[in-house]
A and B are shown apart, each in its own frame.
Chain A
């Protein structure tokens, strides 16, 4: 009964490749997010989607393209991977705008060689 899940947990790939990370939440939340956590542990928001609509795009290179097929899923596709893309990527979700608690997924550790 995992609330926010991500696949894969680990991803090791070569520079220049294209890869995708998938996220699913079963909490019935209306908003989903992608965060990047770099080697210094800094957590920075990349995107947010509300009811499948892009709300926040935080100056992320256009090699990163989020896609939300429905409210429960938010995927992240990365083209032409670079060394600097190595990080842990966390998906999160929340409900409403009161503002609400955000629930994080387990993270995907991406290593670009």
Chain B
């Protein structure tokens, strides 16, 4: 089955700096790579996703890159703000009748004002 590794497990940055979180996956058939943000005591919420026919996607201060050959994808957050502090999860999945997401173990991002 799919295995997703996520690094680092914790990340502390100063407000205004950039943050990068990296994930690798094992199943070359995976074709969907979402990133979820989970604030303390809240539900995971999708912030951006990328599909395997695209190499990069941006949404304001957030960008995701995908390298299918190397089987890794990354989340980039620029101009970080204190409200970006949360746990971020990467995941990998593939479509089909038994579609499921396999999640990385999460990165606790702390943005210091």
* Chain A contact residues, CB within 8 Å of chain B: 31, 33, 40-45, 48, 50, 55-56, 90, 94, 97-107
User: Chain B's nearest CB lies how many Å from the CB of A69?
Assistant: 21
**Chain B interface (Cβ within 8 Å of chain A)?**
31-32, 34, 36, 38, 42-46, 49, 87, 89, 93-103, 105-106
Task: Write out the residue numbers on chain B whose beta carbons fall within 8 Å of the beta carbon of A97.
Answer: 95-97, 99
Closest to A94 in B: B99
With A33-B100, A45-B101 as contacts: A101 and B46 at CB distance below 8 Å: yes
Is the Cβ of B43 less than 8 Å from the Cβ of A101?
no
Knowing A43-B44, A104-B45, the reply to whether A99 touches B95 (Cβ < 8 A) is: yes
* Count of A-B contacts judged by CB separation below 8 Å: 58
Partner of A106, one of B43, B103, B106: B43
B87 near A99: Cβ-Cβ < 8 Å: no
Question: Chain A residue with minimal CB distance to B44?
Answer: A104
Complex Cα spacing A32 to B97, Å: 12
Q: In whole angstroms, what is the CA distance A103 to B99 when docked? A: 14
Residue contact B34 to A101, C-beta cutoff 8 Å: yes
CB A73 to nearest CB in B, in angstroms, measures 18
Cβ contact within 8 Å between B98 and A56: yes
A98 to chain B, nearest CB (A): 5
